[in-house]
Structure formats: C-alpha cells, structure tokens
Amino acid sequence: MKSFDAIVIGGGQAGPFLAARMVEKGMKVALIERKFLGGTCVNAGCMPTKTLVASARAAHVARSGAVYGVNIPGEIAIDMKVVRARAEAVTMNARNGLIGWFAGMDGMTVIYGHARFEDPKTVSVNGETLTAPRIFLNVGARPVIPDLPGINDIDYLTSTSIIHLDTLPRHLAVIGGSYIGLEFAQMYRRFGAEVSVIEHGPKLASREDEDISDAIADVLRSEGIDIHTGVSDIAFARSSDGITVATDSARIDASHVLIATGRKPNTDDLGLDAAGVITDKHGYITVDDSLATNVEGIWALGDCNGHGAFTHTSYNDFEIAAANLLDGDDRNLSSRIPAYALYIDPPLGRVGMTEKQARASGRKIMISTRPMSRVGRANERGETKGFMKVIADAETKKILGAAILGIEGDEVIHGIIDAMNAGTTYPALQWSVPIHPTVSELIPTLLGDLKPV
C-alpha cells in the first residue's frame, strides 16, 4: 500500500489546482485521472467548442461582408478538417501544458487509471492500493443518453464526439434545446449544414425567463435553424441516406443526430458505497457548505457535487477548499452568486436571479430592459439583436440579477457580477463613468430606468 497526504481523483478544473497547492505546502499528493488531464473544459467542453464557435463566426462574418462594404467574390467554403485540427490544437496545447506542469512538481504523482474506493481512506487503481487521510473527488460528468425508441439503432453524436467531426453534416438534428445543443446548432448552421432543434419543453433554454427564451429562438430562426418545441414523442430509424427523426409534429430527414439532453455525474463506478459517501437521487455527491461529504476526510469538487456545471464554478470549488484547508480561511459555497453564459452569437450573459425567481421570492422588485437596437456600439457594429435586462430589490437597492443577450453580453455582464459580489447598490453604480463607445456604458442608463413592478 502506498501512502500519501492527499489523493485527488479526477483531473478537471478543481482537483489538479488543489493538488498543486498542496504540493507547494510540502505535501505528497497522488492525482488519479481516468483519461485526460484538464477534464471536460480542456478536452470536450469550453476550449474546443469555443474554438469551433470562433470558426463558425468567422464564416458568418465573411458571408455578411457585403453589408459592411466588404465584397468577397465566390462562395465561402468551409474546410472542416482545418476547423477540427484547430480545435484539437487548442485542446492539446492546454492538456500538454498541464502534463508538463505536473511533471515538474516534486511531491506530485500522476496516475492514469480508474480509481475505486476500498474504504473511506483507501482507493485502488491499476491493481495498486493507495491510502491518504484526505481524498478529493473531482470526477466530472458525462452526456445523458435518453431511452428513446430506435436510439440504439443509430450512430448518434454527443457533445464529446461531435467535436471530432471533420466532415460537414448535410442535416444535423439536435435533440435538446438547452445551452450545449443551441451552441452546436448555430455553429453547424454557420458551417453550412441544415439544422433542426427538437426540444421536449415548451421553450428553448428553459432556465431563462420567457422573454429571453423567445429572443434566443428569434436569433436562431433568423439564421435558418428549424426549431420544434413542446415535442412529446421522438423516435429514430435508419434511412437510405441517414437517419429519420420522427416526432409527434414533424418528420426530419437527418444525416446526423446530436443528443444534447443533459449530463450526469461520473459517480456510479467509484465504489462510493464502500466509502459510505452519500449521493442524491441523480447521483450527485452530497456536500456541505465547505464541499465536505458526509464522510470525514472526503470532499467533492466540480460538476459531480451538483453545485454548478461550469469551469468557473469548479475552479471556485478549488478556491473554497484551498482557502479553508490550507490558508485558515472560512469560505463557503452558499456565498457564490451564480453566473454563466450561453455562447450563441450574440451571447447571453447571466447572473443571479431571473425575473421569475425574483417575483417568486416575495420581494418588492424593480425591472429595467433596453433593446440592443438602442445601444450605440451595437448599431456601429451592425449587431442589434437581443436586449438587456436587470432586476433589483426596491427596498435594499441591491441588484438581484441580470441578463444581457446581445453583442459582447458575456463580457458586459461582468460589470454587474462584480457589483453584486461587492454588495454595491444600483444607485452607486449609476454614478460610474463608463467608456464610450462600449456596450457596458449602457449599464448606468439601464439601472436608471428601473421601475417598480
């Protein structure tokens, strides 16, 4: 049996950085990764997909050049092999950077293999047994494959496998109208494929307020994406030239099918029962406000704890654990203000409560909206789709939440994220003097238009 001061299972965006901090403190750490260092973000999420999004936007801008007085003769052609190679290069650069970083650390042992608990202090991997007083789980999540008629008879794609395509689908059917599915839908439409989105719920991006969901649908439809919502029945069958997707309202002749119906935690094969670690009904590991599980000496970080499915929330889990365990601090999960983005074009930046959540909270609230068509920077750039929206507490004057669907919305939202984290009231933010011409300069104006509801 090999002994360590700590064992980290999973090489995503929380565990490895915590392992590095512990090594800096002179600890002996084992980092166990089943496949690739970097987790979903580096290998199948943010980095490759946003690289693909950038290629798709380049194609879109090139096709739109005439509007700006830039005439490009001939058809805009897409070389999917180059597109794929560029995304893979970004992934490999990041992954190899992590490999090199850890290889140079005295006290760090990186083990590739499948770890399972033998008891609360012991794990087995590759036929070896390791023990440590502290064990951190950072095992991430994977795509959910729903049990739909005919699904096992077709070769479907997931968000992991689609990034390796080096040919252009004739017609991509996207099953699921949430964030992952919508990003791939617009991306492949801009590459030149016909695209249909099929969503069981009544609207796209169901987490958002109805006005945001409707605006997202308008953006996608304006680019020629076929959207089906409220679909109750879906079945698949092979056809002579692809896959037939039959729903209760349509029949789609697709060449490729992307299953984008959510993700589930990679916790079902860790031997958690042997350690006594509790999970919820969906398989997420139950943690307290400090990310500790019910078993002393075991923590769960990142997607597998169900408190955020983003790189930034995983990294913040690392920050919380490191601050509490290594720096004598007292940080907690409940103080985190939720924020995220949807990377369609234009992007959606979101923070805090939706309008629906704010109304349900019983607070007296104020709301302000502003169309992007009234933003100078948006008009100058010729990108006026979407709108801004902010919700505030009428009594405390604190900002409760905001949504910015529009040009640079994923960046502009940070002004509000920072204000909310600092506890700044909206009247104080109104007196800032932002730079012109920017999208962010409209934040004080947006706040000045807050009205009670």
- The one-character DSSP state at 305 is G
206, with CB counted inside 10 A (0-12, 13-18, 19+), is: middle
Residues 6+ apart with CB under 8 A from 449: 368, 370
Best CA proximity match to 282, nearest among 301, 299, 262: 262
Q: Strands (DSSP E) along 34-119, which ranges? A: 108-112, 116-119
Q: Put residue 325 in one of left, alpha, beta given phi > 0 → left and psi -120 to 50 → alpha.
A: alpha
Residues 6+ apart with CB under 8 A from 377: 407, 408, 437, 438, 439, 441
Q: Is 436 a known active-site residue?
A: yes
Best CA proximity match to 386, nearest among 202, 190, 217, 195: 217
Best CA proximity match to 8, nearest among 24, 28, 170, 378: 28
Q: Put residue 283 in one of left, alpha, beta given phi > 0 → left and psi -120 to 50 → alpha.
A: left
Q: Distance (Å, rounded) from C-alpha 332 to C-alpha 68?
A: 49
Given the structure tokens 């380049």, which residue do they identify? Answer: 58
Given the residues 171, 282, 312, 436, the one annotated as active site: 436
Which string of DSSP letters, residue by residue, matches 370-410? EEGGG-HHHHHHT----EEEEEEETTT-BEEEEEEESTTHH
> Which whole-number Å values give the CA distances from 139 to 148, 229, 327, 365, in the listed order?
27, 33, 24, 39
Strands 234-239 and 128-131: unpaired
**Catalytic residue numbers?**
436
